[in-house]
Amino acid sequence: MAKKERMSGNEAVAYGIKQVNPDVMPAFPITPSTEIPQFVSTMIANGEIDTEFIPVESEHSSMSAAMGSEAAGARTLTATSSAGLAFMWEVLYVAASSRLPICMTVVNRALTGPLNINADHSDSMGARDSGWLQIYAETNQEVYDNFLQAYRIAEHPDVRLPIMICQDGFITSHAVQNITLWDDEPIKQFVGEYNPEHYLLKHNEPMAVGPYAVSNYCMEAKRAQAEGMIKAKQVILDVAKEFEEVTGQKYGLFEAYDLEDAEYAMVAIGSICGGIKDAIDELREQGMKVGLLKIRVFRPFPAQEIAEALRNCKAVAILDRAEGYSSQGGPVGADVRAALCKYKVYAENVNILYGLSGRDTKVEELVEVYHQLEQLANGENPFDEYPYLGLRG
């Protein structure tokens, strides 16, 4: 039977890794994801799993080794954060274009500079267009459940793309929360074994991985890769439905919290959504119709679904935990605003930067944003031209 436990987000991911028992894990330590390879190497030493752990000299080497093992037909995992993810940059694109379904647990941490080790989304958001699937979690339960679904999504023959399972550094990765751990056997059956149709070391089927592509063929390869991303949306929903049948936990492309009749809504990713829900509960008691759209799947980006969910809102605040340096806001704001425009949703909207480099965001600040959205819908504009929430002086 499923059991109740208390775990940090990193522990929860490690428990999921134990249940999946991937073939290979190359990794290099970096705060705040270091615990994950530590936990895995300990489980290997204790004989709890038979994953081959590869200590490497850098994150670039980690992703290179992950590519090699996945290309050889081995289910592969790695973990990283921040500058570690940035150091992989070159190889991220190669892994995606080679259609290698590597799973990477990303514990989100600010990219420097200035040097900072706390949570924001600048690391994974910087890699949002590298061809990797991206799924984000609000809670420890969600990052555990997302990991358990990851290989089923990435390895699907319609997808065959690498996947990032993201959680907020320290906020969920090191904080202990109540969690339900699912039974091993149903999870093992759900995830299944990895039996790729084609791989580098397959007998009597020689193949090249990551070859040079001349101009006559490269564009077609990129389009085929894009098709995998397009088809991933339905695969994610199908896998989530099966996961619900096994566990009772329901997941989608996003979570709509009190959104059905909301006049004023926020769109956000990750752990901030817990505070937003508290603000919503407080304001709903006062009769204010407010809601939240919590994005779970950022790549592929569910543009039409998000636009339809926000269609009846009068005003929307899109929250970003990463600065886009476009002079217009952040990456979530750019994508959501484009979706609203494309699908002719005419709600007033504002893109707000919050929580950069671990800055706390208080529930009362979020309550005030909802009041400001009401003003915005009524023809006033209480927001700065380029709003940062909680910015000092």
Q: How would DSSP label each residue in 326-341?
A: SSS--HHHHHHHHHHH
| Residues 199/71, Cβ–Cβ less than 8 Å | yes
Residues 6+ apart with CB under 8 A from 232: 133, 153, 156, 158, 159, 161, 300
pLDDT confidence bin for 113, thresholds 50/70/90: confident
pLDDT at residue number 95: 97
| Residues 264/314, Cβ–Cβ less than 8 Å | yes
Give the CA diameter of the chain.
Answer: 70
pLDDT confidence bin for 96, thresholds 50/70/90: very high
Strand ranges for the chain from DSSP E: 3-8, 24-27, 52-55, 77-80, 103-108, 133-136, 163-168, 176-181, 254-257, 264-268, 290-295, 297-299, 315-320, 348-353
pLDDT at residue number 203: 87
CA dist., res. 224 & res. 210, Å (int): 15
Average pLDDT, the chain: 97
CA dist., res. 189 & res. 93, Å (int): 31
pLDDT confidence bin for 193, thresholds 50/70/90: very high
Residue with tokens 């339905």: 234
pLDDT at residue number 209: 86
pLDDT at 210 over 90: no
pTM (2 d.p.)? 0.97
pLDDT at residue number 211: 85
* Cβ neighbour number for residue 176 with a 10 Å cutoff: 14
pLDDT at 393 over 90: no
pLDDT at residue number 321: 98
Q: Report residue 382: phi and psi, to 5°.
A: -80, -5
Q: What is the mean pLDDT of residues 134-157?
A: 98
pLDDT one-digit tens code per residue, 331-344? 999 999 999 999 99
CA dist., res. 48 & res. 21, Å (int): 9
pLDDT one-digit tens code per residue, 1-48? 699 999 999 999 999 999 999 999 999 999 999 999 999 999 999 999
CA dist., res. 143 & res. 148, Å (int): 9
pLDDT at residue number 206: 85
Please name which of 184, 103, 85 lies closest in space to residue 149, comparing C-alpha atoms.
Answer: 103
| Residues 131/337, Cβ–Cβ less than 8 Å | no
